[in-house]
Every structure is written in C-alpha cells, then in structure tokens.
Amino acid sequence: MSSPRDTLLRKFAADLGLDPAEAIVAVPKYEPTVEHDGQLFVSGQIPRLRGEVAVVGRIGAETDIEAGRQAARLCVVRALMAVRQSAGTLERVQRVLRMNVYLRCAAEFAALSEVADAASEILYAVFKPDGGHTRTTVGVLQLPKNAAVELDLLVALRPPERSYSTF
C-alpha cells in the first residue's frame, strides 16, 4: 500500500533514529505546514530526535561537520514527514521549489555547502529523478534551542485526487 517515496522516507527516518510514525506536531503559535493553491509551505525544522534537539552548538566549534550533516538530514527528513502528514503521501509532491538552510557555525567555518548537501542528497534520493530544487545556505549566529541546523521547504503539490479530475 505504501508508495515508493513514502517507503524511502520511512527508511531514512528509521536510519536516523526517528520514529516514522511520529507526528510533526502543531506547535502552539504556528503550523508545521500551510497549503495554498498547489504550494505547500513547511515551517523551519530543527534536528529534534526523541523529544530533544539532537545536534546543538556551532559547527566547526562545539560540533563538527559530520554532526552538522547528520543534523541537516534530521531536519530534511522531519520536513518531509510534515509534507507527508499534510499531503497524505509524498507521491503528491510535484517538485521541491526551494530549501533554505540555516547553519549555526563558527565565524571562520566556510564549508557551509558541504553541510547543506547532506539534506539535498536526501531530496534527490526520495524524489528521483525529480529531486532538483533551489537552495540558499547561510551561516547564522543562533538558532532556536541552540540547534546546529534549521531548514524550511516549499514544495509544489499535485491535486489530491487526480483520478477524479476532468481537466
């Protein structure tokens, strides 16, 4: 019953130690996602794992590049879990339009792209051959709860029930 993309997402989530059935819960003051006119906006995700922020500190100082890459993977998988939760299935994703990646890093750390690549690689794997997306990566001073990475997504969705469409 599970689609190829949803199966892959479940595998990535399990590999990272995430519970694939975990709901990306609505926080009190904003929503995990908002859908409008074929676009699904996903709120900024931090590397939460079993109720805690798994990777904190500055990449290149208190934490290293490989931990940063793992944090980026956790963020993007959580973002995709939010997409699946809202859209029903990742098969409705027509295209990932944009990913913004914010890294908390040391002042002289310059390998930002290498960290963000870990998230992009998962998008390519899940949406192959349509995983292409635009990306902006910046190094910031701080992130919520001292997280090492935060990222958000904008994806284009197909209508939920294409088979009923008469267009």
Q: Does 31 bind a copy of itself (CB under 8 A)?
A: yes
Going by C-alpha positions, the residue among 125, 12, 109 that lies closest to residue 68 is: 109
Residues from 118 through 157 that contact a copy of itself (CB under 8 A): 120-121, 124, 132-146, 150, 152, 154, 156
Nearer to a copy of itself, 29 or 50 (CB): 29
Q: Does 110 bind a copy of itself (CB under 8 A)?
A: yes
Q: Does 63 bind a copy of itself (CB under 8 A)?
A: no
- Inter-residue contact 94 to 5 (CB < 8 Å): no
Q: Does 4 bind a copy of itself (CB under 8 A)?
A: no
Distance, CA of 62 to CA of 10 (rounded, Å): 30
- Report, in Å, the least distance between residue 104 CB and a copy of itself: 8
Provide CB contacts within 8 A for 73, sequence distance 6+: 12, 16, 118, 119, 122
Nearer to a copy of itself, 1 or 144 (CB): 144
**Which tokens go with 31?**
């929503």
